[in-house]
Each structure stands twice: as C-alpha cells, then as structure tokens.
Structure 1
Amino acid sequence: MRKKSLLLLLFVSVLCFTLSAQQNDYTKPSLSDGDSWSLILLPDVQTYVKFDYNQPILDLMLAWVVNNMQVLNTKMVLCPGDLVEQNDLFNPNGRVVNQTSVSQWEAVSAAFGRLDGQLPYILAIGNHDYGIVNAENRHTHFDKYFPPNKNRLNQKMLREVGMNVEGRPTLANATYEFVSPHGRKFLILVLEFAPRDEALEWAKGVIEKEQYADHTVILLTHSYMDRNNKHIVHENYKIPGPNYGEAVWQKLVKPSKNIRMVFAGHIGVPDDPKGHTAFRVDENAGGKKVSQMVFNAQALGGGWHGNGGDGWLRILEFLPDGKTIKVKTFSPLFAISPTTQKYAWRTEAHDEFTFELD
C-alpha cells in the first residue's frame, strides 16, 4: 500500500512539474521596447458569429485586447472584413450557419462594442458582408450596425467619407487620421470589397490632397493577395465593376506616393496557417516601399465550419525609431489556460517577422 502511495505521489509530482514547465515556457505578450506602440490586426471574424456557440471566442479576443491595451500601448484595432457570413439570410440551415443575418450583425456589432470608448477600431467589409449570401449585389447592412457615432473614438479620427453604389455616404469607403506617439502622421484608407472604379478615383483624390502629402497611408481592404503572395487578378463574384488586388495595385497603390502599407484578409485553406497569410514588398511611384500583408484565420480550428479561427490575431509593434515594425501572431484563446498556453504563439517565418518603413 505504501509503495502504491509513493508511486502515486511520484506521478503527481511529475505531472505538476510537467505542467509547471509548460506554463513557464509561455511568455505573455509585451513590447520589445517600452517606448513602442502597437496596432492589433484581426482576421475575418465571420465564423465566430455565424454559429452562436462560437461567439464567445470573439468576445474573448476583444476582451483580451482591452485588458492588454496598456501593456502593449495599443492605439487601434483593424479588421479586413467578412464581419458576418451572410448579409441578408433569413433561413439558416443549422449546418453551414445557425444564425440569421440579423443575429450575426447584432453579434458582431455587440462584440466590437466592447471596444467602444476604449479603442478606435477600423473595419473594412468583405464579400460576405454584401448581398444575400455572398456578394450577389453591393447592398450591405454594415452602416446600420456600425454607424459613425457608434464609437466616439472612431468618429474623432474620421476625416473623409466616400459613397456607396447608391450614391450614399458609407464607412465602407472612408479615411481616418492618426498621429502616432512618435509623431508620425498616418491616414488609414478603407476601401469596399473589390472596389469600383468610382471608389478608387475617390480614394486617389483624397490621398493626393495637400493636407495628406506628409502622411503615411495604410490601405485596409478585404481581397488583395493570394497565398502565393501574388496580387489577385480575378474572382467570380457577381457584383458589377469589381477591381481585385492586381487592379487595386495598378490603379491606386502603385501610382501613389504615400500608400506605404496594405492590410487585407479573405484567403484561407482549412487548418493550414500558411494558407491564410501573404506578404510582399513593392515600390510605389514615389520610390517608397509598400509592405503588403494578408492575415486571416477563419478556416483554422476545424475548417470552414469550425470554431472560427482558434482566436488568432496579430500584434504589430511600431518601434520608436519610427520605421521598424515587428509582427507577432498570438491566440488569446490558447493563452487563457496553462494546459494550452504552449500553443499561444505561432513563430514560423510567415507569422513572426520584422519589416521597415523607409
């Protein structure tokens, strides 16, 4: 009996040591330089709200952002769209989606509401935010659930508003001005999914204004590059007059002198992190480097109808030298338990890297 007790005690000790070692291997997110600031980049969030049982993961992610905003000196949150799975679906089948579009929009609006008054968040819209199921037309409920006065911090930064296909003002085409703690002036330009020529012309006119000549422009849009780091040339959506990644590059980004970063989402391969990402650097007409990044996670955690993306997000640390940006990929979902904390960081070359603004 005594021998069994000793064996049991030894087993418990080894188990505790193992769990402790796993926990000690985990490093909480922090800045590499105390004078840096950060931007949080979210992936497409549609699968977190298309199933009601996935919603708590998105709530967890945004709660983590708020709880760590001081540690990371976070100044804003960006999301490249596909906020919902269907924009106007009345009859979910329970297998592909179990919430109506109204419930999906209400859920994602409430989730981001956690940031209201805490942090500005700038959202693009994706193909799933248009039409009925998937961009059959350019009608969207986005402006209803994310009006300009929803978050006073967003409204404070809002500078220019473009028009939708119906000729009405929309935050799907908009600009936001931000001055970093290091004094660098940024203009975040948001463009609708597969923007029309009219939207591109509006954007070009805005960023060429004299008042933005010394601003670093960040373009936030939905569909831009594929998993092979190539600009997307064509997709088979029914919306009229679309411009995909290659056309956006040729008509807007390359001719510009001040677009320096592009952030997008959209792509994914089930349970393949690399298939959700892309990165490339090209030179614009002003001879400046344009760093272009795609980040998504929606088909991780069980594929297209899984848990929504395992809670993955990206932390972009802007160092005080004014040019260096460190990218890290982190999951608050895995980080909440000592049992899973060892999985909370993705450190492959496509998930953890540094780039520079010249």
Structure 2
Amino acid sequence: MSSTDSANATQATSGVSMKRSLRDLFVSQGVLPFFLGGALIIFTLATDKFLTFDNIVNVARQSVYLVLASLGQMIVLVTGGFDLSIGTAIAITSVVSASVMVFVAGMFPDMIWLALFMGILAGFASALLIGGINGVGVAKFNVSPFIMTLGVQSMGAGVALFITGGVPVGGLPYDFGDFFGFGRILGVPVPVVIALIVIVAIWIMMNRTKLGSHIYAIGGNIKAANLSGINTGRTLLLAYLACSLLASLAGVLLTARVESGETNLGGTMALESIAACVIAGVSLRGGIGRVESVVLGAFFIVLVQNGMNLLQIGSYMQMVLLGGLLIMAVVIDQLRYKMLIGDR
C-alpha cells in the first residue's frame, strides 16, 4: 500500500471515529453540548462583551432562579409528567410571602427576622398547596398532568391577582432584600450559595436515595414500578410537591431581588424550565434525566438570553427564538429516542 493510500485510510478511519464519538455524545447527553458550543461561538464572534469574566459571572448569578425551577421541572418530567404551574407557584409565593412580611413587620416592628421567617414560611406553604393539588389530581385521580397543571396555573394566577388587586406589594423589610437579594457569604452571592446547596441536595436525592430510584422507575414504566412494590401514588405526590417547593424557593429569591411581591414574576418560567430540561436531555417520556445536565441547560438558556440582550435583540423576538429552540430540542429528542431504542 502506498503512503497516499495509507493516509487516505487513516483519514477515513479518523472520520468514522469522529462521527461515532459525536453520535455517542449525542445519545448520552442530547443536544446540549452542541447548542452550548454553537452559542459560545456565535455570541463570541458577534460581540466582544460576551465572553468576559464579568459577563459569565453575571449569567451564573441570573441563572440561579431558572436552575431552581428547572430542577423541580426535571423531577416531574422524569416521572413522565410535567408542571405548567411553576410560574404560578412563583407568583403566589411572591405575593403571599410579601404580604405576610409586611403585615408581621407592621405588628412587630422590632422583630424583623420573625417577619421574614413567617413570610417565607407562608410562601412555601402556599406553593406546597399548589404542588399538593397537582400531585393528588395526577396520582390519585389519574388526571392528565397537562390538564391538571394548566388548570391549577389558571386558578393560582387568579388568586394572586385577587390578593393584590394587580398592584405590587411594596414596603418589604429592608433586611429581606439586603440579605436574600444582594447579600454575600464569604464573597459569594447568597442566591448562588442557596442554589449550590439545593443542586447538591437534589443530586443526592435523585442518585443516592430510594425516592430518586422510585422516581426514575415510575418514569421508565409505571406499571412495572407498581408491580415491584413501589408506592407510585405517594412518589408522584412527592415529586409534584418537590417541584412546587423548588419553584417557591426561586420565588422567594426573585421577590428579594425586585424587593416587592409581584404577580407577574415567573410568567415565562414554565416554558423556560421545560426548554432547559429538554435541551439538557431530559426525556419527555420519563425515566431519563441528569441533575448536572439540567443545571447546565438552565445556564445555557440564560446565556442565550444574555447574548441576545448584548446584541440588542428585542424581547418579542427573544420569545420567538426561545420557542424555536424548544421545538427544535423536542424534535431532536425524538431522533435521540429512536437511536436509544436502536442501540438496545
């Protein structure tokens, strides 16, 4: 064999190896590595303000809220359902916690931390009520997650508007926004510290506990999980409660950030959290999803929004592009699923 033929054979072999590596990466991780790499290249070439340390740190801070909501969405998606009421859980948490804080602070002006504690607790309780209603409807009455969470979303939005009359709840204690919105622990923003703790906790739950294994089992085959002795109803209820609780935590941090109770907080969070999960390789059929990938998926969504803001792309067009990304990710997820089935 001549040296030219040998070189051509080597190139062909390396080409096949590269295609196989990319295919394996796609099957195992989904579209996220390709989308993330493409976004980094496009925005870096488009503006020199994008790939800077300060901007990446800013993106990481802004992604905290979506990361928390996406982790909750992932838990529900892995069971084979999804939650459209995440935005409502955030809004209800915001207005309830703000209203209770203002009321308790007015009653006990010298006990500000009591007001903060009672407000946050009330916000969590209101979100858990939403998650409980979703969980009971899906687990006990076999209502479609789409219909159940859509109905709860509408009800919750109406309750939030009823509580506030459409007017933001102001006059929150200064310490609330100062610590939970803009405070730092050892130089790290408090929201980032809280998000890191939650990420570790959810990773342990999903990968090292019976609850996590039960959630994956239900998503893989709920009938088989039921026959194997798993209490599928209780597990589904806990999944929806966890989703609402994580959304509620995001609502508390967002309320501290804007320093008022807002009914429109989290309005796009349901769409964005589903997009982050699907792009991160979480299967809409259930049973597949990784915590670390979802965190990176949420970071990717905020990164793309940041890049579009730097390029001065309007908010309406951003909604179009985000919806297009979601549709593209779902279509590609179908292809990935067929490849997964073919490999088995």
- The two structures have a TM-score, normalised by structure 1, of 0.24
The structure, 1 or 2, with the larger RCO (C-alpha pairs under 8 Å, 6+ apart) is 2
| Higher share in helix | 2
